[in-house]
Chains A and B, each alone.
Chain A
Amino acid sequence: GAVVSQHPSRVICKSGTSVKIECRSLDFQATTMFWYRQFPKKSLMLMATSNEGSKATYEQGVEKDKFLINHASLTLSTLTVTSAHPEDSSFYICSATPPTSGQLKQYFGPGTRLTVT
Chain B
Amino acid sequence: GQNIDQPTEMTATEGAIVQINCTYQTSGFNGLFWYQQHAGEAPTFLSYNVLDGLEEKGRFSSFLSRSKGYSYLLLKELQMKDSASYLCAVKDSNYQLIWGAGTKLIIKP
Residues of chain A having any CB pair with chain B under 8 Å: 41-46, 91, 93, 95, 103-111, 113
Contacts and interface: CB of A to CB of B under 8 A. Distances in A.
Given A93-B42, A104-B31, A107-B45, A43 B87 contact: yes
A111 B38 CA distance: 12
B48 A111 contact: no
Interface in B65-109: 87, 95-97, 99-102, 104
B40 A113 contact: yes
A42 B97 contact: no
Contacts of B44: 108
B100 A43 contact: yes
B45 A43 contact: no
A108 B40 CA distance: 13
A16 B53 CA distance: 52
A105 B96 contact: no
Interface string B25-46: 0000001000000001111110
The 7 closest A-B pairs by CB, nearest first: A108-B42, A43-B101, A43-B99, A111-B42, A44-B99, A93-B42, A105-B45
12 contacts: A41-B104, A43-B99, A43-B100, A43-B101, A43-B102, A44-B87, A46-B99, A93-B42, A93-B43, A105-B48, A106-B97, A111-B40
